[in-house]
Structure 1
Amino acid sequence: MSGRALITGGAGFIGSHLAALLLGLDWEVFALDDLSTGSEANVAHLVGNPHFHLTVESVLSPSVVSELVHKCDVVFHLAAAVGVRLIVEQPGHTLLTNVRGTETILEYASRFEKPVLIASSGSSKPRWQASRWRSTATGRRRAASAMSATSCARWTA
């Protein structure tokens, strides 16, 4: 076994593909998803794998998050309330899930000293103050930990 990974949003499109990839690399995968936008159909082909574990629960559940983060080596935080309709119809729920859910993941990852990859895609466009993120090696502006070759200019106003 290579390691144990927690994937929040693990039954979503990206999360389910990441789970399949990690399983293929001999990882044990714990997927956490409330199925609000994800689907059991996305992970149906993984359910028979003894190294895949789906927990249908919210990232807002501290006891569940604590247990899963504690038993894993790394956390891939992909969970988010997404979609224009959901955001317009339930703005409070969207903010709670996206902000407090991320805080909950980071709180337990910090407590148990687990690395976290936070991913966003699609219409997500962080607005960092570029002056806050300077490379100590070059002095040039950059995103704090962008996982692409995209320059910081794309992410700033």
Structure 2
Amino acid sequence: MTEAPAPESTSSSESAPRRVVVTGGAGFLGSHLCTELVARGWHVVCLDNFLTGSPANVAHLVQDPRFQLVRCDVTDFVHVPGEVDLVLHFASPASPVDYLKLPIQTLKVGSIGTGHALGLAKEKGARFLLASTSEVYGDPQEHPQREDYWGHVNPIGPRGVYDEAKRYAEALTTAYRTAHGVDTAIVRIFNTYGPRMRPYDGRAIPTFIRQALAGEPLTVAGDGSQTRSVCYVDDLVRGILALAESGHPGPVNIGNPHERTVLEIAEDVLAATGSTAGITFVERPQDDPTVRRPDTTLAQELLGWEPEVDWHQGLRRTVSWFERALVESA
């Protein structure tokens, strides 16, 4: 892990590979983005301070000459020599376990870190894409959630540090677009699952899979009637990169528009793992959204995007990855 060197000179700018900076690139979503970008021929500079990400998530890329891993806290500085065509800002704690444990860091990366990443895009004349979240809608009073819905957020509740960090990041991104002419985009990411999720990150699907594989009862919050729309990570990455290359400013919802109750998700995990441990019900967290489903009309019309991976197929892939990961870590 070193400072990212400038790209080699080339006789033709048209033949030069495109170069992208991914902040938080060693996290769950960031690492999948880095993998796909390298596969598409991009030169990728991955910035991460490993607060919630891990070098193991990008270990398969480190020997590739098109990939550079740089240890960097974007709330301190962002410096990347050489040309940059695209900045994908994904640095942030994203699970409730993380942002409740790291409230100040979450607020700082959403504010100071976003400012530094936008400053890099401005300096390089690069397109900038902010990874925002469905959490900007809070516990929504509009269902499904469209991009023009302003949300229903408790700014001083336990989830407020994440919700408001992302809402501020959206405002700052918009200000850089209008005041500085930076080519920006905002993607609002809904619940996503897949390989490389951490077993103890507190989100429902990895928690359920970890518990099922350990023979423990699955802990469902409340009565499990609250709904979630879950998107497989490969589909999400396709949507994000389609927006990044579209030139559209967003915000654009990317997620699966098909709802499932949390209880149904838990039951499907039991079936996929073959677990007979059953389900136990626990107290529901404060400000836990009752419903959460994206209206993806804009993504379909603007980007030609819709999810392709069936829920049960994606769940089997995820369970298989967890089975291997837990064996390797034992």
Taking structure 2 as the reference length, the TM-score comes to 0.38
List per-residue Cα deviations over 1:6-34 (Å, max 9, x = no partner).
Answer: 01111011111111111111111000011
User: Which of 12, 15, 36 is the equivalent residue of 2:30?
Assistant: 15
Q: CA deviation at 1:60?
A: 1.6
- From the superposition, tell whether residues 106 and 126 of structure 1 become closer, same or farther in structure 2 (CA, over 3 Å): farther
RMSD (CA atoms)? 2.6
* Match status 1:66 vs 2:94: no
**1:151 Cα deviation (Å)?**
6.4
Residue type of the alignment partner of 1:145: G
Within the candidate set 120, 127, 130, 1:118 is matched to 130
Unaligned runs of 5+ in 2: 1-15, 139-146, 151-187, 189-248, 254-294, 299-330
Distance 1:37 1:21 in 2: 21
Q: CA deviation at 1:95?
A: 0.8
User: What is the rounded CA distance, in whole Å, between the counterparts of 1:16 and 1:7 in structure 2?
Assistant: 9
- Structure with the greater alpha carbon radius of gyration: 2
- 2:252 maps to a residue whose letter is M
Distance in 1, matches of 2:110 and 2:35, equals 24
Q: Report the counterpart of residue 78 of structure 1 in structure 2.
A: 90
How far off is 1:130 after superposition? 5.5
SS in 2 for 1:7: strand
Measured after TM superposition, the shift of residue 43 of structure 1 is 0.4
- Matches of 2:123 and 2:149, distance apart in 1: 29
Q: CA deviation at 1:129?
A: 7.2
1:76–1:116 contact (8 Å) kept in structure 2:
yes
In structure 2, do the counterparts of structure 1 residues 16 and 150 end up closer, same or farther at CA, with 3 Å as the change threshold? same
> Is the CA contact 2:85–2:125 (under 8 Å) kept in the aligned structure 1?
no
After TM superposition, the structure 1 = structure 2 runs for residues 31-70 of structure 1, keeping only pairs within 5 Å, are 31-62=46-77, 65-67=78-80
Q: Which amino acid aligns with 2:90?
A: L
Pair 1:150-2:163 in alignment: no
Change (3 A) 1:126 1:118: farther
1:75 partner amino acid:
V
TM-score under structure 1 normalisation?
A: 0.74
CA displacement 1:85-126 (0-9 Å, x = unmatched): 3322332222112211001111221233211011134x5325
Q: 2:106 aligns with which of 70, 94, 98?
A: 94
Q: Is the 8 A contact 1:8 1:79 kept in 2?
A: yes
